[in-house]
Structure 1
Amino acid sequence: MGKKKVLVYFYPKADTPGCTTQSCGLRDIKDDIGRTVIVGISPDKPEKQKKFDDKYELGFTLLADTEHVVAEAFDVWKEKSMYGKKYMGIVRSAFLIQDGIVLNAWYKVSPADTPTNLLKELKK
């Protein structure tokens, strides 16, 4: 990694309204983040990730964590609840990393906040 920073962000499901807002927001600030690398991770299959990337021309790496191994390692695979039904899923979150050190972590972020949070952190 060297001097590059990496933003690893976790999103619940490709090509859904919130995840699209988050991912397209990051795409739209690529020119403002210098050499920072963006990596998106969700439990979707690789084919769905590729379609998502192609549809919105994201231009950064999307990883398929179908067995939620990476999500568990980052402690973002949690019990969630919708309409009274409990299930396991991704907690929308983002991590700014440099040289293996987490510089900042954002948990339970709104989709539109991820790009804003990243820009604020990079300007420090």
Structure 2
Amino acid sequence: MTEIRTVELGIGDQAPYFDLPRDGGGRVRLPDFAGKPFVLFFYPKDDTTACTAESVSFTAHAADFEKAGAAILGISPDSVRSHDKFVKKHALSVPLASDEEKIAAEAYGVWRQKSMYGRTFMGVVRSTFLIGADGKIVRIWDKVKVGGHAQDVLAAVKEL
């Protein structure tokens, strides 16, 4: 099967702009993070096993990311209402943006053709972007495996 990917971002590319609604109300935009590094993680669905483990892990390390001078933002196609329930249920402290129209997912190249149990469908491929203080992509983790991922990202942040 050929993987469909409309955007191919690389190291040194300018991070694509986004302006999305977020959990708890309000909006979050790329310029909100200007002047400091930040971690942008895309995940498929609230309250699923791997997505919960990933979000809980970033929350567990949130103070370490803050100490290293980096912000964190999670994005999925779920609604703000879904994010609010997810945050409350798992006591998450990382902000979550709602990308129901998949605009950010497409801009970052993570909305792709996937396959499971012989069925092909479009979905978010779990991916993380480390974006530098200048708004340029410093590192990309594609097809993320959750175990130890937040710690790997934190180590990369500390290397900046």
The TM-score range, normalised by the shorter chain, is over 0.9
Aligned pairs for 1:1-124 (under 5 A) are: 1-33=33-65, 34=67, 35-98=69-132, 99-124=134-159
Aligned length: 124
How far residue 2 of structure 1 moved from its aligned partner, in angstroms, is 4.5
What is the TM-score normalised by the length of structure 1?
A: 0.94
Unaligned runs of 5+ in 1: none
Q: Note the aligned Cα RMSD (angstroms).
A: 1.2
Secondary structure in 2 matching 1:12: coil
What is the TM-score normalised by the length of structure 2?
A: 0.74
Asked if the contact 1:94/1:114 (under 8 Å) is kept, the reply is no
Per-residue displacement from partner, 1:36-94 (whole Å, max 9, x unpaired)? 11110001111001111111121121011111110000000000001000000000000
Secondary structure in 2 matching 1:123: helix
Unaligned runs of 5+ in 2: 1-32
Secondary structure in 1 matching 2:154: helix
Q: Which has the higher strand share?
A: 1
How far residue 116 of structure 1 moved from its aligned partner, in angstroms, is 1.9
Asked if the contact 2:44/2:51 (under 8 Å) is kept, the reply is yes
Runs of 4+ in 1 over 2 A off after TM superposition: none
For 1:25, the aligned partner's letter is S
For 2:124, the aligned partner's letter is I
For 1:61, the aligned partner's letter is P
Give identity over the alignment, percent. Answer: 40
How far residue 3 of structure 1 moved from its aligned partner, in angstroms, is 3.8
Secondary structure in 1 matching 2:83: helix
Greater Rg by CA: 2
